[in-house]
Amino acid sequence: MSAGTATDTRPGRLAGRRILVVGAGQQDYGLEDPPIGNGRAMSVLFAREGAALALADIDAASVQATETLVREQGAQCVTVVADAAEDSGIQAMFDGGRAAFGGLDGLAMNVGIGAGLRFKGTSVEDWDRVMAVNLRSHFLGCKHALASFEDGGTIVLIGSLAGRESMPVPAYAASKAALEAVCRNAAAEGAPRVRVNVLAPGLIDTSLGRMATRLNPARGEVRIPAGRQGSAWEVARCALFLLSEDSSYVTGQTLVADGGLSVATRS
Q: Which candidate, 197, 106, 198, 99, places its Cα nearest to that of 149?
A: 106
Cβ contact 54:100 at 8 Å: yes
The rounded distance, in Å, linking the Cα atoms of 93 and 144 is 10
Cβ contact 22:108 at 8 Å: yes
Concerning whether 29 is annotated as a catalytic residue, the answer is no
Count of alpha carbons within 13 Å of 169, Cβ hemisphere only?
A: 21
The rounded distance, in Å, linking the Cα atoms of 258 and 265 is 14
The single residue of 172, 199, 201, 212 carrying the catalytic annotation is 172
**Axis crossing angle, helix 87-101 with helix 137-148, rounded to the nearest 10:** 40
Termini Cα distance of the chain: 25
- The catalytic residues are 172
